[in-house]
Amino acid sequence: MKVPLLKENDQIITVYCWLEEYWTDEFLRWDPSTFGGIKQLHIPAEMIWRPDLLVYNNANMNVHESEMMTNALVQHDGRVSLFRAVITGISCHLNLHRFPFDQQICYLMLASWSYDGSQVMVRPAGDDQTNQSAGLNRNSQMNLSSHHHQSSSSSSSSNFGQNNYFMKSASLTHYIPNMEWRLIDFKTRSNLKMYDCCPNPYPDICYYFSIKRNPSYYLFTLIMPSALITTITVVGFFTTHSSTGENTEKVSLGVTSLLSLALILMMVSDKLPATSDTVPVLGQYYIGLICIQFTATYITTWTLHLQTNGNSGRALPRRLRHWLLGANPRNNNLFMKHLLGRELATMQQSVRHRIKRFERVRMGLPPYLDDSRFPFIASLGQRNGSVQQEVNSQLLSPESKYTSHRHCSIFTDSNSNQKTTENGTTATKQTTERNSFNDSISNSIKEVSQTVQEIRLSLLTEEQLRQIRVEWQMLARMIEKVLKLVFSVFTIVFAVYMLYDEQAPPLITEEWIKENSH
């Protein structure tokens, strides 16, 4: 026996069988001494009577194409032996719930099509118990068995009307192993069945075999590639950096991974029957992977939306900013430091340097001056910061004392010139020209001051907006790292839960046969 092929979508198992049939035909007896000591003959099976044994659950009704007829060996005492090979596809109800970790129990039923138990008794070869208790014969005393046995009609009549069966384990000596399916158990069962059409029971033999699939092919061609694709997709979705600056790689990666899963899912669907009672584990696994990728894509869109909040100038809430960035050196948020690592340390250092630059600008010092290299200037700026700020404000103010002083000096010069000039008209003209000149200088200083203030406000606003964008990006990166860890762990746990095989080996028992009796 060999199980070379199983068609899951058609629920048909192709079986190679080597049938050994033994029976006794009293019309094929002779005396060897009469025929020159010939004790056995090889005769074509088509030339003698043979039992019409058929596979009842055969899916292919063309018997002549699936059987190879050979010569029959006839002994002088009437014993006939016929060995023939049968390639048959039997129908079997497949339970594909645990596919590709499924295990099936099927049977092959052999019985005579036209002879009932009163004419031909079918028994497993070597079954001595059935030889002694279930012998049924007809006029020709033909019993299909591995041993020559004749019984009286009285013993046969005692078994009529009974639905007896005899079950025992069969030998696996001649079984040919299959790379995909492993044979777990093999048993034979003899039955006597009553039908409404006939008064006598019909005997049959059922060969039950349980097989377990080897999932190596599906693990390496379907499951592992899908798991790797999902893992790479989850990691890519929550990658904190983008080469284009617009995170377009995440969208492309998501579409590519979904197409890959759809292609693999098509390969799986070709293996499964369209009218399956349950959804196989492999199908549930792929549906779960698609749901994981869909959820990751949705959350990635949400994190991208968080990053765009910084472009609108909306600042982070104060508590969230303090908890996230930890700009205060005394804030020891170990969880955030461990989660963001170098990014958080770099961001904290950048915030501290930015605060120092603002302080230096406020004190009138160069913003990028290194205090360690110029301690005298730094201390001087710290002592005289308020004085320099006052001087700067006075210089930049159009109504400052410096401007008033210049007005006073100009008027003094004008009075002295009026005393020394004999022509009063010329002195008045010069005074008017000087007043207009002083007004133009004052207006120029005022415009320069306003321009400087606008530039300063513009730089401060731009710096503040950049700081807000960076803070929102840090929040998005923190969420992405947390989600990457969560999704990675969930993907691994989901794969282990779905693909862990804890089934007991399929054993053929009387309870199973009663529940699935044909």
Question: Which residue has 């009218």 as its token pair?
Answer: 275
Question: What's residue 42's pLDDT?
Answer: 93
Q: Are residues 225 and 209 part of one domain?
A: no
Q: Are residues 280 and 222 part of one domain?
A: yes
Question: What's residue 275's pLDDT?
Answer: 60
- Residue 183 is given by DSSP the state E
Question: What's residue 133's pLDDT?
Answer: 35
Question: What's residue 177's pLDDT?
Answer: 84
Does any domain span residue 467? no
Question: What's residue 75's pLDDT?
Answer: 94
Specify burial of residue 397 (Cβ count, 10 A radius: 0-12, 13-18, 19+).
middle
pLDDT digits (tens, 9 = 90+) for 455-465: 766 766 777 77
**Domain C-terminal end among 290, 312, 334:** 312
62 DSSP β-pair partners: none
Q: Are residues 187 and 66 part of one domain?
A: yes
Question: What's residue 362's pLDDT?
Answer: 57
| Tally of CA atoms within 13 A in the half-sphere of 377 that contains its CB | 12
Assign residue 182 a region (left: φ > 0; alpha: ψ between -120 and 50; beta: otherwise). beta
**Domain C-terminal end among 280, 312, 344:** 312
Q: Whose CA is closest to 74, among 30, 135, 14?
A: 30
Q: Regarding predicted confidence, which is higher, 163 or 318?
A: 318
Q: Regarding predicted confidence, which is higher, 297 or 425?
A: 297
Q: What is the mean pLDDT of residues 41-60?
A: 88
Question: 263-277, 381-395, 432-446: lowest mean pLDDT where?
Answer: 381-395
Roughly what angle, to the nearest 10 degrees, separates helices 375-383 and 342-363? 60
The span from the first CA to the last CA of the chain, in angstroms, equals 22
Question: What's residue 472's pLDDT?
Answer: 80
Question: 97-101, 314-318, 508-512: lowest mean pLDDT where?
Answer: 314-318
**Domain C-terminal end among 213, 243, 267:** 213
Q: Are residues 252 and 184 part of one domain?
A: no
Distance (Å, rounded) from C-alpha 424 to C-alpha 250?
A: 85
Q: Are residues 105 and 209 part of one domain?
A: yes
Domain of residue 253, CATH code: 1.20.58
Whether 292 contacts 453, CB under 8 Å: no
Q: Are residues 274 and 198 part of one domain?
A: no
Domain holding 284, by residue range, is 217-312
Question: What's residue 39's pLDDT?
Answer: 93
CB atoms within 10 A of CB 306: 15
Q: Regarding predicted confidence, which is higher, 299 or 170?
A: 299
Does the pLDDT value for residue 65 go beyond 70? Answer: no
Question: Which residue has 């190596």 as its token pair?
Answer: 216
Q: Are residues 196 and 74 part of one domain?
A: yes
- Residue 220 is given by DSSP the state I
Does any domain span residue 439? no
Question: 13-22, 320-329, 404-413, 420-429: lowest mean pLDDT where?
Answer: 404-413
Does the pLDDT value for residue 124 go beyond 70? Answer: yes
List the structure tokens of 88: 């048959």
Q: Whose CA is closest to 125, among 104, 103, 145, 95?
A: 145
Does any domain span residue 160? no
Instruction: Domain count for the chain, please give it.
Output: 2
Whether 18 contacts 174, CB under 8 Å: yes
Distance (Å, rounded) from C-alpha 399 to C-alpha 418?
A: 27
Domain of residue 197, CATH code: 2.70.170.10
Residues 6+ apart with CB under 8 A from 64: none
Strands 121-122 and 143-144: parallel
Could you give the dihedral angle defined by the CA atoms of residues 314, 319, 321 and 325, in that order, rounded to the nearest 10 degrees?
Answer: 180
Question: What's residue 257's pLDDT?
Answer: 81
Q: Are residues 201 and 290 part of one domain?
A: no
Whether 77 contacts 26, CB under 8 Å: no
Please name the amino acid found at residue 510.
E
Mean pLDDT for the chain overall:
72
- Residue 46 is given by DSSP the state G
Question: What's residue 325's pLDDT?
Answer: 60
pLDDT digits (tens, 9 = 90+) for 70-119: 899 999 999 999 998 888 889 888 888 888 888 999 999 999 888 888 88
Q: Are residues 175 and 97 part of one domain?
A: yes
Q: Are residues 206 and 287 part of one domain?
A: no
Question: Which residue has 């969560």 as its token pair?
Answer: 486
Q: Are residues 275 and 196 part of one domain?
A: no
Q: Are residues 98 and 11 part of one domain?
A: yes
pLDDT digits (tens, 9 = 90+) for 350-362: 666 666 666 665 5
Question: What's residue 353's pLDDT?
Answer: 63
Question: 24-38, 343-357, 397-411, 474-488: lowest mean pLDDT where?
Answer: 397-411
Does any domain span residue 301? yes
pLDDT digits (tens, 9 = 90+) for 379-389: 444 444 444 44
Distance (Å, rounded) from C-alpha 441 to C-alpha 382?
A: 33
Question: 43-47, 168-172, 418-422: lowest mean pLDDT where?
Answer: 418-422
Question: What's residue 148's pLDDT?
Answer: 32
Q: What is the mean pLDDT of residues 118-143?
A: 54
Strands 2-7 and 165-169: unpaired
Question: What's residue 356's pLDDT?
Answer: 67
Whether 128 contacts 92, CB under 8 Å: no
Residues 6+ apart with CB under 8 A from 144: 21, 22, 23, 51, 53, 112, 120, 121, 122, 123
Q: What percent of the chain has pLDDT over 90?
A: 9
Residues in the chain: 518
